[in-house]
Amino acid sequence: MKKNSMWSLKLNTASLVLIPAAVGINYIGKLFAGALKLPLWLDSIGTILAACLAGPIVGALCGAINNIIYGFTLDPVSFIYALSQVGIGIVAGVLAYKGKMKGLVGSIITGLIIACVATVVSTPINIAMYGGQTGNIWGDALFTWCTANQFPTWLASGLDELVVDIPDKVAVTLIAFGIYKALPKKLTILYKNDQAIESLD
């Protein structure tokens, strides 16, 4: 029973309503990062948090819906990158469920794994869309250097994405972990699907 519940597609209302809130958190994270002129995007805090709270399916849905919404509000190219957000949601959900996101070290490792997955999913899209670039100055500088030194495109592009993703995803995972840790149990229990009603009769 417990084993199945991580992948259960039957979501309760609380988990469903968590999705728009998580997308909103992503959006606000990005706005605050922009307003404070921080050098990172910080735009997947909600996805990771939702994945921790309600599992990989909700995490994946958050990621997908996040980018669909970005597609409608900022840049239609985001639709295509929904795939990498889905990857982030699934990985975070699975790792959190397996209890890997406990403590600082666990979160950093989780962040690194998330960054790798995001890179694996995004790189082919980057290559198909932009010949391998990401649009980030530092990443693209590395890409240029690699290209000029005859690296294969997939490697140059992968490294480009990775240098951008590692600091961002590690930071985001740490922030999500910090918030998750402080959440009252009364709230987090609502998103679990396997509660039963005890009888007092």
Partner 1 sequence: MAKIVVEHLKYRYPLTDELALKDISFTIEPGEFIGIIGENNAGKSTLCQALVGIIPNFYKGAYGGKVFIDDLEVAKHSISEVCRKVGIVFQNPFNQVTGSKLTVYEEIAFGLENMGLSRTEMMERIDYSLKLLDIYQYKDRNPFDLSGGQMQRMAIASIIAMRPEVIILDEPTSQLDPQGSEEVFRAVQSLSQEGISILMVEHKMEKIAAYSDRVMLLKDGKMVAFDTPQKVFSLENLEQYGVNAPAFTRICKKLGIKNQKNGCYPVTLEEAEGAINLLKNGGIADE
Partner 2 sequence: MSNIEIKDMYFSYTENEPVLNGINLTLDSRTTAIIGQNGAGKTTFVKLLKGLLKPTHGQIFWDGKDISQMTVAQLAKYIGLVFQNPNDQIFKGKVIDEVMFGPINIGMSQEDALDHARKALSIVGLAGTEDENPYDMGLSDRKMIAIASILAMDTDVVIFDEPTIAQDYKAKEKIKQIIRQLKSDGKMVLTIIHDMDFVAECFERTIVFAKGNVLLDGPTAEVFAQKEKLTQAYLEPPHVTQLCNRLGYQQTFLTVEDFVAYVKRTLKK
Partner 3 sequence: MKSISLYQDKNTVIHRIDPLSKILYILVAIIVPFLLASQIASAAFILVSIIILLMGKSLKRTVPMLGFSGLILITVVIIQGIFRPDNVTPALVLGSVVFYKEGLLFALGISLNVINILMSFSILVLTTKPSDMVETFVRMGLSPKLGYVLSSVFQIIPQMTETMATITDAQRSRGMETEGNLTTRVKAFFPLISPVVMNSLITTKERAIALEVRGFDSKQKKTFLTEVKKTRSEKVIKIVLAAVLILSLIGRVLIWLR
Interface contacts to partner 2, rule CB under 8 A: 181-187
Check residue 35 for interaction with partner 3 (CB under 8 A): yes
Check residue 2 for interaction with partner 1 (CB under 8 A): no
Q: How far apart are the first and last CA of the chain?
A: 26
**Amino acid identity at 174:** L
What character string, x for contact with partner 3 (CB under 8 A) and - otherwise, covers 182-201?
xx---x--x-----------
- What per-residue string of b and e applies to 106-125 under the rule 16 or more CB within 10 Å gives b? bbebbbebbbbbbbebbbeb
Burial zone of 142 (CB within 10 Å; 0-12 exposed, 13-18 middle, 19+ buried): buried
List 4, 13, 149, 150, residue binding partner 1 (CB under 8 A):
13
Tell me which of partner 3, partner 2, partner 1, none is bound by residue 181, counting a contact when its beta carbon lies within the kind-specific cut-off of 5 to 8 angstroms.
partner 2
Q: Are 43 and 175 in contact (CB under 8 A)?
A: no
Provide the 3-class DSSP secondary structure of residue 171: helix
Span from 13-21, 37-45, 79-87, 125-133 in contact with partner 1 (CB under 8 A): 13-21
Q: Which of 22, 159, 157 is nearest to 92 (CA)?
A: 22
What character string, x for contact with partner 3 (CB under 8 A) and - otherwise, covers 76-115?
xx-xx-----------------------------------
Q: Are 169 and 118 in contact (CB under 8 A)?
A: yes
What character string, x for contact with partner 3 (CB under 8 A) and - otherwise, covers 55-74?
------x---x--xx-xxxx
CA angle 22, 28, 31 (to 5 degrees): 150
Q: Looking at residues 109 to 138 of the shown chain, list those that interact with partner 3 (rule: CB under 8 A).
A: 129-131, 133-135
Contact footprint for partner 1 (CB under 8 A): 13-14, 20, 185-186, 189-190, 195-201
